[in-house]
Structure 1
Amino acid sequence: MACTLDASRLGERTEQWQRLAGKATRREEIPDGLRLTFPSTPELASEMASLAAAEQECCSFFDFTLHLTPAELVLTVRAPEAAGSLLADLFGAVA
């Protein structure tokens, strides 16, 4: 499993995810990924959805679930065990 982005685009994408993950109010390691909780804002929901859709183009092995409520946004990211290091690079998760 590998990302299909070239090195410069991969660096940019990594920065985007790390910046977004830095806005999380809570993070939870789950058996096959990570769950991040954010304040509920339309701008943040739009940014998350756009970034997750872009990520699917280059890393189709990731599974993203975005749960929206009036109080919070919850982004769940799941990946196969073989993609653990990429998950850690993007979100700071333990590989």
Structure 2
Amino acid sequence: MQLTEPAVGERVTRVLELKEADNPRSAPLMCTLSATGQQDRLRHWDRVLGVAEHRTSVADGLVLRFRLDLELSHALTTLIHAELECCSFFVFQLSLDSHFMMLTVTAPGHGLDVVEQMFGRS
């Protein structure tokens, strides 16, 4: 693989997609966390989601826009990893450009309602 520098003025977007190896369409709609674990996780998500600048609905989910920030990107990837451990039906895609991070969260086969319950809050 050879990496090349982008041309001057060219916008560069990098995409990181984290998802379970199994087909998420067949993943059951369930969370393996305890009630206390779920409440703790929701508090962590609320802190991160509170700084989202914009939310847009897409098929089966949401796109959330955040300012590009190293600490925030670390918090997002840490939460995404933890979420995939307990809720394998979610699919996350994190795109970065020179100014913003776009987090797409979908629940294929389960729909927008499921995603909005967890990620539509601010």
**Same fold per superposition (TM over 0.5):** yes
Deviation at 1:88, TM superposition (A): 2.7
TM-score computed with the length of structure 2 as normaliser: 0.70
Give the 3-state SS of the residue equivalent to 1:67 in structure 2.
strand
TM-score computed with the length of structure 1 as normaliser: 0.88
Gaps of 5+ in 2: 1-28
Distance verdict in 2 for CA 1:81–1:19, change over 3 Å: farther
Deviation at 1:49, TM superposition (A): 0.6
Give the number of the structure whose residues are more often helix, by fraction. Answer: 1
Kindly tell me the number of residue pairs found equivalent between the two proteins. Answer: 93
Match of 2:88 in 1: 60
Match of 1:78 in 2: 106
Gaps of 5+ in 1: none
- Structure 1 window deviating more from structure 2 (42-51 vs 12-21): it is 12-21
Match of 1:14 in 2: 42
Distance verdict in 2 for CA 1:68–1:48, change over 3 Å: same
Amino acid in structure 1 at the alignment position of 2:47: R
Amino acid in structure 1 at the alignment position of 2:108: P
**Does 1 or 2 have the higher relative contact order (CA < 8 Å, sep 6+)?**
2
CA contact (8 A) 2:92 2:105 kept: yes
Calculate percent identity across the aligned residue pairs.
Answer: 39
Query: How far apart in 2 are the matches of 1:83 and 1:8?
Result: 25
Query: How far apart in 1 are the matches of 2:111 and 2:82?
Result: 17
Query: How far apart in 2 are the matches of 1:17 and 1:50?
Result: 11
What is the Cα-based RMSD across aligned positions, in Å?
A: 1.6
